[in-house]
Structure 1
Amino acid sequence: MIRAALVLALLAGGAAAPQAKQSATLDLAKPFATRAPWRLTVVQGPDSVDVADNPEPGALTLCLSRDGGRSCSPDLSQALHVGPAPDLFDVPHYLESARIVHPAGGRALLLVQLASVHSGNGDQRVSTQLLAYDRAKDAFVSVYARRAGRNNNQEVRYVAGGPLQGAMISAEPTDDKPFGYWITVSKPDSALRYTQALRYRSATHYGDGNPLAVIDSEMPNIERRLGLWRPGMKLPLPARGCARPHLVNTVLWCD
């Protein structure tokens, strides 16, 4: 069924009880002060199966519309497409998040995260998009988009607060030894379009035993490289808490 996150996020509609199809909506007119009655509608089809015939939620159809669904733009359902040829992981089946976020300055963006069915090894294709409202065109436009997998601790994260509020951070595996991650930070300009502000190879290594998410373990390095933190200052800690924060070769550990 549609994930609980959808029920919580799409407050204007809410998901129906389990049935062949479910739908939920998010009213965008008020938070974005749109000229037309913009609304995001998500419909989930009947239950499905993955490549190994394991049960999966049904396919999602997303419509960002100003005319009650008669037209949809941009086409959010295409976010998982990678190449010209279709594959088994092009279609969204999981709505990870659909919520309104506020970068520094109080302006609003629509954050949508989608995921495909699982592969044979449990991996998924995950897309993250940010959309801004263009008042002159009365349209929503993509200002950030990135795809990643799951199985190697990849992550694409919106930073909701702190010195990096509004930034998008991605951690993606390197292809060569010592296996680590490419850390990329993108920040919005005055028009809320995201551009790369930082990219480096992580000090965190794959399989190093650190239970923290890669982005959390790398936050001291991220903030130091951006001039936001230096040794001697209070360590930047993950939101879920950190029992005994300390650095190991510039990487944050909590145990």
Structure 2
Amino acid sequence: MRRAMGIGLAMMSLAAAAPPGTPQPRLDLSAPFGLPHDWQLFTTQGPEEEDPGGNRAPGALHLCITRDGGRTYRPALDTMLVTGGGKSVFDTAHYLEFARVIRPAPDRPLLWVQVASLHAGNGDQIVGRMALAYDRAGQRFVPVYDKRTGRNNNQDVRFIEQGALRGAIISAEPTTGAPFAFWITVNRIGRDGRYAPILRYRSSTRYGDGNPLAVIDSEMPETLRRLNLWRPGSPLPLPDGPCPQPRLIARVLWCTPPKR
């Protein structure tokens, strides 16, 4: 199997009022960011509705970062799935997949939020991910990375927690032309505190090749090689899960022999 994810956002007025809805669990931001009491990720959810496939689905989500129980936004995160095209039913988040604090460096916390749209008739979703830092001068959180992708074609976006690329964000997105592979993009945080790409290449991993590893894992040796962080002959960089028979085949990591 391979996985998928992604994001996008627009800022809203700090003085806007939160819409009504059913309150959801809140994430405290005061302690990890060293802020005064009551900073939190505040979430409410509307009533159930029908998705384009005719199935019952959770209602629309309203998400905001607030220090006053949702009365004002710093900022709102309701447009994480909005694209530049026309208005769509998939512009609105209905699933909060997770929200947590990540650390590109021990003294640099970021808020990482992942949401998803309603399911389309084919089961696909728009998935948005965003990393936000606290701006002490502006007394609000600001996005430092955001990306949206679909889910059905093994898209993936991952924050790297350890190893040579600790703190980086890697994405894998399918190419549009044959032979069908993936665009691998590595983003690093810069001096301005925002993420920017430092590497982009077409993968040796092919779509539908039968490799059960996630694309980012199967490409990790090649990604590190291109960044001069790994050399052939050195121990292979392995995924977190079981990898009983690691081997490189045409620059791609496999943990089990390919099926013939």
- Decide: shared fold, TM above 0.5: yes
Partner residue in 2 for 1:91: 92
Partner residue in 1 for 2:187: 186
Partner residue in 2 for 1:114: 115
Q: Which amino acid aligns with 2:190?
A: D
User: Are 1:35 and 1:138, in contact at CA under 8 Å, matched by a contact in 2?
Assistant: no
Cα distance in 1 for partners of 2:114, 2:41 equals 13
Partner residue in 2 for 1:26: 27
- Post-superposition Cα deviations, 1:178-226, rounded to whole Å, max 9, x if no partner, equal 0001100001124431011100000001011111111110001111111
Partner residue in 2 for 1:7: none
Instruction: Name the SS of the counterpart of 1:223 in structure 2.
Output: helix
- Post-superposition Cα deviations, 1:73-103, rounded to whole Å, max 9, x if no partner, equal 3221100001252101011111111000011
Q: Which blocks of at least 5 consecutive residues in structure 2 are unaligned?
A: 1-20
Instruction: Name the SS of the counterpart of 2:211 in structure 1.
Output: coil
User: Are 1:157 and 1:169, in contact at CA under 8 Å, matched by a contact in 2?
Assistant: yes
User: Are 1:124 and 1:150, in contact at CA under 8 Å, matched by a contact in 2?
Assistant: yes
Instruction: Name the SS of the counterpart of 1:89 in structure 2.
Output: helix
Instruction: Name the SS of the counterpart of 2:197 in structure 1.
Output: strand
Cα distance in 1 for partners of 2:204, 2:174 equals 12
Q: Give the CA deviation at 1:22.
A: 4.5
Q: Which blocks of at least 5 consecutive residues in structure 1 are unaligned?
A: 1-19
Partner residue in 1 for 2:172: 171
Q: Give the CA deviation at 1:126.
A: 0.4
Partner residue in 1 for 2:71: 70
CA pair 225-158 structure 1, distance change in 2 beyond 3 A: same
User: Are 1:34 and 1:135, in contact at CA under 8 Å, matched by a contact in 2?
Assistant: no
Q: Give the CA deviation at 1:232.
A: 1.1
Partner residue in 2 for 1:14: none
Q: CA RMSD in A?
A: 1.4
Partner residue in 2 for 1:233: 234
Instruction: Quote the sequence identity (%).
Output: 54
Q: Which amino acid aligns with 1:188?
A: I
User: Are 1:183 and 1:200, in contact at CA under 8 Å, matched by a contact in 2?
Assistant: yes
Cα distance in 2 for partners of 1:159, 1:27 equals 23
Most deviating of 127-136 and 27-36: 27-36
Cα distance in 1 for partners of 2:85, 2:227 equals 37
Partner residue in 2 for 1:248: 249
Cα distance in 1 for partners of 2:140, 2:23 equals 26
User: Are 1:212 and 1:253, in contact at CA under 8 Å, matched by a contact in 2?
Assistant: yes
Q: Comparing both chains, which one has the higher relative contact order based on Cα–Cα distances under 8 Å and sequence gaps of 6 or more? A: 2
Q: Give the CA deviation at 1:106.
A: 3.1
Cα distance in 2 for partners of 1:48, 1:163 equals 45
Cα distance in 1 for partners of 2:36, 2:190 equals 23
- Post-superposition Cα deviations, 1:43-101, rounded to whole Å, max 9, x if no partner, equal 12222221021122222110211232111132211000012521010111111110000
Instruction: Name the SS of the counterpart of 1:220 in structure 2.
Output: helix
Cα distance in 2 for partners of 1:185, 1:221 equals 12
- Post-superposition Cα deviations, 1:15-46, rounded to whole Å, max 9, x if no partner, equal xxxxx934111111111012573211111222
Most deviating of 234-243 and 66-75: 66-75
Partner residue in 2 for 1:205: 206
Partner residue in 2 for 1:49: 50
After superposing on structure 2, the runs of 4+ consecutive aligned residues of structure 1 that deviate more than 6 Å are none
